[in-house]
Amino acid sequence: MNILVTGGAGYIGSHTCVALLEAGHTVIVADNLCNSKAETIDKIKQITNKEVTFYKIDVTDEVALEVVFATHKIDGVIHFAGLKAVGESVENPLEYYYNNLVSTMVLSKLCKKYNVNKFVFSSSATVYGDNKVPFVETMNLLPTTNPYGETKAMSERILTDIAKVNPDFSVALLRYFNPVGAHESGVIGEAPNGIPNNLMPYITKVAKGELDKLRIFGNDYLTVDGTGVRDYIHVVDLAEGHVAALDKLTAGVHIYNLGTGEGTSVLQLVKAFEEANNIEVPYEIVERRTGDIASCYADVRKARNEIGWTAKRGIVEMCRDAWRFEKNHK
Ligand code: NAD
Ligand code: UDP
């Protein structure tokens, strides 16, 4: 299939481009590079030895995006393009609502116009809010604590309503848990701008000596050791989940959790990283971070049963691959 990947130069998008190309699909990337670099497209080509068509455009720009639809016979879209920094979304809600919602609407509009009926959307476990773990796809969604999370819940609703009145439209809403790690080549990975917000990229910067110590946000949660528990998933497993969802997509809306089903605490992840890479990660315990929940992990049965996908890579591989990329990355 010819797949349009919005946000394909980004962290999850680039790994998914590799997985799509390796599965024999053709990839067209639309990315405005607001949080990524054009050289990532070359790295995707380098890893796969395949061609990638790249458009440096903003997905909220309907005129620019229509050129892509008019030029290529697109069979499906995967919509990664979006802003994702939770704290920034609280500071600048309009930018987040505009970018994340308008991009979804413009893309849906062009899908309808050009009869593109396969739509895979990057959602997030954040839509579950503080539900009881493990999170199951059938749960009622609870309010999230920030505009970023709201854009994910709203985009899910927009796509669901569109599918209701378009019987041919097939939508996969993929709720990611915590993607970490990097491609095993060490060529592509997660390279956030500035000081990382997320745990794994923070750990790798501390290990590298670029940050002096990790600050662990709270050790008084009701969890195995008091620190927050998350379901970390290797980004390559996540990428493969997109290929599986796309291949098996049928008409209607299908929601899948993409996680491992395993919860890991902050302290457990730090220890696993230290052991996997034989390197020390100094840390201190500080106050809880506003908006954080104690535990978040997936019920993964639906993706396994319906699209035949399960995560294969464990915490040790996640830690090794994250560190390999960080060491290679300037
Ligand atoms: P990322 O920032 O690395 O990638 C997003 C890409 O989209 C970037 O290359 C950016 O330049 C591009 N982009 C943003 N707005 C755009 C626009 N208007 N037009 C064109 N390109 C635009 O982020 P990621 O971690 O790869 O996340 C991909 C998607 O998955 C996002 O929608 C994110 O919200 C979602 N998600 C990420 C996580 C996570 O922890 N990384 C978890 C759940 C969901
Ligand atoms: N965390 C931490 N220090 C950091 C970053 C994160 O202790 O510098 C904790 C955070 O409180 C949470 C877990 O690590 O329990 C995962 O946080 P991340 O921001 O990576 O993901 P999210 O909170 O979005 O699930």
Please report whether residue 24 resides in a domain: yes
Ligand 2 site-directed mutation target among 12, 177, 213, 230, most atoms within 8 Å of CB? 230
Please report whether residue 319 resides in a domain: no
Q: Phi and psi (nearest 5°) for 201?
A: -65, -25
Report the separation in Å between the CA atom of 107 and the middle of ligand 2, taken as the mean of its atom positions: 31
Residue 327 to residue 248: CA distance in whole angstroms: 37
> What pLDDT shows up at residue 311?
98
Please report whether residue 8 resides in a domain: yes
Look at the block and give the residue holding tokens 């090794």: 320
pLDDT (tens place) for every residue of the chain, 330 residues total: 999 999 999 999 999 999 999 999 999 999 999 999 999 999 999 999 999 999 999 999 999 999 999 999 999 999 999 999 999 999 999 999 999 999 999 999 999 999 999 999 999 999 999 999 999 999 999 988 899 999 999 999 999 999 999 999 999 999 999 999 999 999 999 988 889 999 999 999 999 999 999 999 999 999 999 999 999 999 999 999 999 999 999 999 999 999 999 999 999 999 999 999 999 999 999 999 999 999 999 999 999 999 999 999 999 999 999 999 999 987
Residue 317 to residue 276: CA distance in whole angstroms: 8
Please report whether residue 311 resides in a domain: no
Residue type, 272: A
Please report whether residue 55 resides in a domain: yes
What residues contact 310, with CB distance under 8 A and at least 6 apart?
300, 303, 304
| Cis ω for the linkage preceding 134 (within 30 of 0) | yes
Residue 252 to residue 243: CA distance in whole angstroms: 18
Residue list, ligand 1 pocket, CB within 6 Å: 6-7, 9-13, 31-36, 58-60, 80-84, 99, 103, 122, 124, 176, 178-179
> What pLDDT shows up at residue 193?
82
pTM of the model: 0.98
Residue 204 to residue 187: CA distance in whole angstroms: 16
> What pLDDT shows up at residue 47?
98
Please report whether residue 200 resides in a domain: no
- The answer, yes or no, to whether any atom of ligand 2 lies below 6 A from the CB of 217, is yes
* 96 is known as an active-site residue: no
CATH number of residue 177's parent domain: 3.40.50.720
Query: Which range of residues forms the domain containing residue 250?
Result: 2-183+232-259
Tokens of 39: 């050289």
Report the separation in Å between the CA atom of 82 and the middle of ligand 1, taken as the mean of its atom positions: 4
Please report whether residue 289 resides in a domain: no
Confirm if 284 and 240 have CB atoms less than 8 A apart.
no
Ligand 1 site-directed mutation target among 5, 6, 11, 173, most atoms within 8 Å of CB? 11
Please report whether residue 206 resides in a domain: no
Q: How many domains does the chain have?
A: 1
Report the separation in Å between the CA atom of 234 and the middle of ligand 2, taken as the mean of its atom positions: 16
Q: What Å distances lie between residue 156 and 35, 104, 126, 141, 145, CA to CA?
A: 23, 9, 12, 11, 17
